[in-house]
Structure 1
Amino acid sequence: MTVQSAYQEEEKRLNEAVTEINGQLSEIGPRYTGNDFTEQMLDVQREERKQKLEIARKEAYFGRIDFQENGGAAPKPLYIGKAGVGRQHSSDLLVIDWRAPVASLFYSFSGGEAPVRYESPEGEVSGTVHLKRNLMVRGSELHRLVDSYIRGQEEDAVTDEFLLYRLGESKDNKLRDIVSTIQEEQDKIIRADKNVALFIQGVAGSGKTTVALHRLAFLLYRYADRISSERMIIFAPNRMFLDYISGVLPELGVGDIVQTTFADWAVELLDHQVTLQSAAETLEYWFEQERTEEDLRQASGRYKGSAAFKELIDRQLHELEQSILPEQPFEPLDGIVLQPAQIKAWYETDYGEEPLMKRRERLASRLKRWLESELKTRRIVDKKLRAKALAKLNSYTKKIPALSALELYRTLFSGKQSAPEVPKKIAAETAARLKAGFAAVEDLAPLAYLHIRLYGLGKPYFDHIVIDEAQDYSPFQLEALRLCQRQPSLTVLGDLQQGIHAYAGIGSWQELQQLFPEQDTGYFELDRSYRSTMEIIDFANRILSGMDGGVKPAVPVFRSGDSVVTERTDDAQWLSRIADTVREWQEEGIFQSISVIGRTARECDLIHRYLLAGGFEASLVQSRQPAYGGGLTVVPAYLSKGLEFDAALIADGSGQAYRRADAKLLYVACTRALHRLKVLHRGELTHLLD
């Protein structure tokens, strides 16, 4: 079949599909607004079907695979799309949902005439693939067709043409889904079993964030009868990143998943008993001036996120549990006595599985019921005696302390009960901060952990948790989140090579993996980078060469582009050269997003004001910014992580700006660029790029 005839065949089939989809949409009536429960349920089903059809109307499908099942008479063309669509008056599927078992063939098959297989609910299905075809469909138009395999024809040993075409597209201010270009190694992660703590080490541009989001969509499809989107949660590094990824799940037809930061989640869990100290202050403290390795070792975040500090908290909870009950009996009236042994039995046996303060509440209610029963049995109706007994009950109950997480946490740092293990400087700083009603970022994990141990989660357990940029998480943060699930079901992703928050994060994934039973964990490495050109990845890899991180360097997809340019300038010409470069790139008219990446917030503020004075429309990224707007952006290197731009200019790559300790920070900055990267340097270029 010629390319032209293939186009004609696919255009005819697309017209039929669009007509079918539009016809089904037109038959769905208006929303039901009455009170009949049955009709309300039917309306919900119709609305779900309508949403799927709306997704299919925008892009009916993106792939076709002709599969002949063993024993089948002929190969059957299967069209794969974001949403499954059945034919109106037939049991046949017009479009197969990308999450369906048979659709896995589209992602796992890479050529060859050997038999293939996939796992269906009924068991393993085997057969042969005759055709694999990528299609770019927009509405009723077919924009592109690429055959990556035709059975019987000689295969060209070339990189996936369709993938390169999609990677070469310009990026705007939102992350997009990758459902049409999921690679085999990514598909294995997406379809992995639910009940594991899955750890993903992915180099810059490996698609790990989008893979995690697609995994959520798959889990909701695969385990629809056991989990719900309302009981899933995504933890992102900051609010701006949440805005950046906000469009992916709706494009996949998934809604109602909580998307937040660990800090915002913890503050809400604590019912806003504390106010979070400005995150900008922490970032500026660590990135606006030089810090030594000794500073990192003594950092409050490293200490409070450690297993040792968690053990200290556990000892504190154990001591509270052992001492919480009064040693004397409860004697509300003469001759009516409840011995401590019985009270202890109720507390430890009847309510032993509940959080400490919940057990206290249950015990207080039990004591009141016991007293009422005794008064009734003994026929004590005298109001004064009953009032006296109730007063004794209130007095006795008050001897059982009712503590908040914040109150218990404070005792570690101040007063006679302060823990001697806590370094004096950390204890003094923390005590003063908590007294003023503030908490630092590193206080939130132990506070959240204490709250859950004392009062429980207060809402349903999470069915699945996604943690992005997890290399910046402490073991204690994972310990707190472990309490939010009945069994481990997490997708934990990040890149140790981008671990720029060394004052609080981890040095190896083992620090987090060891928190879970080995049989409940999984580990994947994604070392292919789909974001940047070969030239940019090779340039960035030089920065980390010689560093012992135990992580494989990024391997670029075979997509070549412009060479990376380094240009020396001086203080007098520096700002004008930044403006000249930006102007040249804008005049080319091929880049939707351009970034100028500075070393510090102060430097970025200076650059931003200069560009505005020169007539440029530029935005400045700042800490806790809620959204990223695209276009021309000035951003500090430490806030650029997770973002990507068509072209990136490193404002100053000199040795003064980036020393040896800044290798990961410079690596993050350079790997933001998709198509073009330039490094200006005032004075000598940093030795990291020698």
Structure 2
Amino acid sequence: MSAPAHEPPAARPADQSADPLSRERSHLAASRSALRAMREDVEALDISDVTANWVNAEVLARQIDERVKALADLSGTPLFFGRLDYLHAPGAERAEGAGGEQFYIGRRHVHDASGDPMVIDWRAPVSQPFYRASRKDPMDVALRRRFGYTGGDLTAYEDEHLSDPADPLEAATAGKLLQQEIERPRVGPMRDIVATIQPEQDEIVRSGLSGTVCVQGGPGTGKTAVGLHRVAYLLYAHRDRLARTGTLVIGPNRSFLHYIEQVLPALGELAVRQATVDDLVARVEVRGTDDAAAALVKGDARMAEVLRRALYAHVTMPAEPVVVVRGSRRWRVPAYEVEETVRELLARDIRYGAAREALPQRIAHAVLVQMERAGEAPDDRVQDAVARSSAVKAAVKAVWPAVDPAKLVLRLLGEPEFLAEHAAGILDEDERKTILWAKPVRGVKSARWSAADAVLIDEAADLIQRTPSLGHVVLDEAQDLSPMQYRAVGRRCTTGSATVLGDLAQGTTPWATRSWAEALGHLGKPEGAVEELTAGFRVPTDVIAYASRLLPHIAPGLAPVASVRENPGFFEVRTVTGTAEVVAACAELLRNEGSTGLIAADARVADLAEALAAAGISFLGPGEETTRETRLTLVPASLAKGLEYDYVVLDEPRAVVDGEPDERTGLRRLYVALTRAVSGLIVTHSAPLPAQLADQGAR
């Protein structure tokens, strides 16, 4: 049942002794006081006498500072959002007449001065029934209560008596606060969905650390939020392990990362790094761009084998013996023996650099064997000295030379003969010509490297020296990655796991992912489980139905998202004669509460910016945080992916399609743009609509 602040809630027998809403507000106030006391206890810690040196003191001080930040009571953010009343104490014997326990579910754990919990972390096992219990399977829960807030004030509650499935009142009223929270207008960056996680989402969130999960989810299904909450859950369940190995969230661009950056801190997790793929492979300065054809070849997984061949071509078999002089003695390692060692190292398939480091020790060991046969008793220090001798160094340099990864890629892209030699049977002549630079480049610093070149350099660097692995990586908007980019991400979690998030229908690059099985293979996680989210919680029914007209043309066989919103939203297609009417549509939507996005083909953004300025309407760019005063964001279609706004004006669908290299990519870009609206969408056009939309008529 829902009880607004100005009305007494309908009381059940258990609540007749007191006003339930007042009692819940009292518990909220007491919980906030307890959280403040927890924070003050940490702030008051004196570490002056507990550290051995200044390094330990710095580390401990930083840990304390992070703990203080994690215990912040965020203004306007509910400390708890639900309550569970168990029929029996969790884990206890279900004795006749035994009473259960009551737990408040929130974003973090809060305890009182005695250590008794006042709020239970949503990630704790005892909290799981809040998301999964149902009348069919109540999971020993008698009552699930959801709370409604206005700002930071608790103003309503809603009960589900799960042990009483025949209760018609509860069956009719359950879910209204949940629906209101899902559909609540938003201003500013993405917020957490911890109060509204659905059973199918919770199953993904709580899946184990050891397995890789790929989530296929259409617009508004919450896949990004699921991925972020999965990180928060894993940090809770495996904190010690992930504290050692690290976690990483990878997004498509800086605007997207800025949009999501507040979700994990709101859940008390401050130590998760966020980056783009370009950040991961930033070994050279990217100043150039590739055309689509060149980027397609450079991003192909076959390039990994081309690089491997080119790298190991530097290894040559020795023609001369290695002669080491020690005092008055000369020790000779025959060329054939050195060759045997080189071939053995090649057969072990270890990293190029690791093998190169092992080779001098192997040669030195051969010298020590001769010394021992001659009656000497050399030790490890002698072996190290031999390995560092000028003769051994010279032999290693000749046989297994050091290779710079950027210089290796420079040769491949700049020397036709070198590329032809090592791409033979892998790339055809046209493909080789496509990726060769038109003019010779003098050196690494003078090269105009592209983003795809940087990925190749990262691949080469990993062939030489293993990339350190993290414990868990979340990869969002994965459908736009090339196979080589997947490999770059996979290198960061070779001994860890990954959560891959994406939508095949939203792939807008020439190399967009064709299947998740293929993507997981490139990532190095072929055993990963693929889960699909099809319930749309954010996009209105009419909007998703209109956008789904494109699915047969961009992702045949992919199930359309089924909107489960009670609010059908606002949707209209308007014929306009110029930018003034587009601006008027924005002004109309700005009269509503929440954020508004004006999405347009990149080529039209400048004209629309000028029109908005002339009309006196202030606006922001993607990645800038909306405020109560400035709630309009002007978004190039190329940057719209992953962003959401309460209301959207989509300008000229035909221009969005025409702005891409081919129609299918353009239609996918249009699908993305059409599905950014949470509450309402106005499509404006003066040019004819794409046939794939217009074939069913416009409103």
> What's the TM-score bracket when you normalise by the shorter of the two chains?
0.7 to 0.9
Deviation at 1:629, TM superposition (A): 4.7
Q: 2:472 aligns with which of 442, 451, 464?
A: 464
**1:232 paired to 2:247:** yes
Q: 1:134 aligns with which of 99, 124, 146?
A: 146
Q: 1:76 aligns with which of 76, 101, 105?
A: 101
Q: 1:104 aligns with which of 119, 128, 132?
A: 128
**1:676 paired to 2:694:** no
- The one-character-per-residue Cα deviations of 1:135-189 (angstroms, maximum 9, x if unpaired) are 1457973123122445322342677212221123222231111111111111111
Could you say what secondary structure the match of 1:523 adopts? strand
- Assess if the C-alpha contact under 8 Å between 2:601 and 2:655 holds in 1: no
Could you say what secondary structure the match of 1:276 adopts? coil
1:557-568 maps to which residues of 2 (within 5 A)? Answer: 557-568=564-575
- Assess if the C-alpha contact under 8 Å between 1:649 and 1:679 holds in 2: yes
- Assess if the C-alpha contact under 8 Å between 2:192 and 2:263 holds in 1: yes
Aligned counterpart, 1:437: 447
Give the stretch that moved more between structures: 132-141 or 224-233.
Answer: 132-141
Aligned counterpart, 1:648: 648
Aligned counterpart, 1:522: 529
**1:203 paired to 2:218:** yes
What is the RMSD of the two structures over their aligned residues, measured on CA atoms?
A: 3.4
Deviation at 1:79, TM superposition (A): 0.9
**Letter in structure 2 aligned against 1:86:** H
- Assess if the C-alpha contact under 8 Å between 1:488 and 1:520 holds in 2: no
- Assess if the C-alpha contact under 8 Å between 1:60 and 1:139 holds in 2: no
**Letter in structure 1 aligned against 2:529:** G
**Letter in structure 1 aligned against 2:51:** F
1:334-413 maps to which residues of 2 (within 5 A)? Answer: 335-344=330-339, 352=348, 354-364=350-360, 391-399=390-398, 400-413=400-413
Deviation at 1:74, TM superposition (A): 1.4
Relative to structure 1, is the Cα distance of residues 342 and 219 closer, same or farther in structure 2, using a 3 angstrom cutoff? farther
In structure 2, C-alpha distance between the alignment counterparts of 1:497 and 1:345, rounded to whole Å? 53
Give the stretch that moved more between structures: 258-267 or 65-74.
Answer: 65-74
Could you say what secondary structure the match of 1:336 adopts? strand
Deviation at 1:640, TM superposition (A): 0.7
Q: 2:30 aligns with which of 9, 16, 22?
A: 16
Could you say what secondary structure the match of 2:501 adopts? strand
Give the stretch that moved more between structures: 246-255 or 158-167.
Answer: 158-167
- Assess if the C-alpha contact under 8 Å between 2:212 and 2:528 holds in 1: yes
**1:93 paired to 2:111:** no
In structure 1, C-alpha distance between the alignment counterparts of 2:366 and 2:532, rounded to whole Å? 59
Relative to structure 1, is the Cα distance of residues 430 and 86 closer, same or farther in structure 2, using a 3 angstrom cutoff? farther
Give the stretch that moved more between structures: 466-475 or 334-343.
Answer: 334-343
- Assess if the C-alpha contact under 8 Å between 1:31 and 1:43 holds in 2: no
Deviation at 1:683, TM superposition (A): 3.3
Relative to structure 1, is the Cα distance of residues 302 and 446 closer, same or farther in structure 2, using a 3 angstrom cutoff? same
Deviation at 1:217, TM superposition (A): 0.9
Could you say what secondary structure the match of 1:543 adopts? helix
Deviation at 1:677, TM superposition (A): 0.6
**1:549 paired to 2:556:** yes
Deviation at 1:42, TM superposition (A): 7.8
Query: Where does the alignment leave 5 or more consecutive residues of structure 2 unmatched?
Result: 2-8, 12-18, 377-384, 695-699
- The one-character-per-residue Cα deviations of 1:653-675 (angstroms, maximum 9, x if unpaired) are 34895595322111111111111
**1:146 paired to 2:158:** yes
Aligned counterpart, 1:216: 231
Return the TM-score normalized by structure 1: 0.83
- Assess if the C-alpha contact under 8 Å between 1:356 and 1:455 holds in 2: yes
**Letter in structure 2 aligned against 1:77:** Q
**1:483 paired to 2:483:** no
In structure 2, C-alpha distance between the alignment counterparts of 1:359 and 1:656, rounded to whole Å? 51
Q: 2:298 aligns with which of 280, 288, 304?
A: 304
- The one-character-per-residue Cα deviations of 1:604-625 (angstroms, maximum 9, x if unpaired) are 111101211222212345xxxx
**Letter in structure 1 aligned against 2:80:** Y
Return the TM-score normalized by structure 2: 0.82
Relative to structure 1, is the Cα distance of residues 169 and 346 closer, same or farther in structure 2, using a 3 angstrom cutoff? same
Q: 1:577 aligns with which of 567, 576, 581?
A: 581
- Assess if the C-alpha contact under 8 Å between 1:266 and 1:445 holds in 2: yes
In structure 2, C-alpha distance between the alignment counterparts of 1:446 and 1:214, rounded to whole Å? 32
Relative to structure 1, is the Cα distance of residues 370 and 646 closer, same or farther in structure 2, using a 3 angstrom cutoff? same
Deviation at 1:212, TM superposition (A): 0.8
**Letter in structure 2 aligned against 1:686:** P
- Assess if the C-alpha contact under 8 Å between 1:647 and 1:676 holds in 2: yes
- Assess if the C-alpha contact under 8 Å between 2:209 and 2:497 holds in 1: yes
- Seq. identity, %: 26
**1:667 paired to 2:659:** no
- Assess if the C-alpha contact under 8 Å between 1:64 and 1:133 holds in 2: yes
- The one-character-per-residue Cα deviations of 1:508-563 (angstroms, maximum 9, x if unpaired) are 11211234788831111011122222221222112324554332111112332444
Deviation at 1:254, TM superposition (A): 0.8
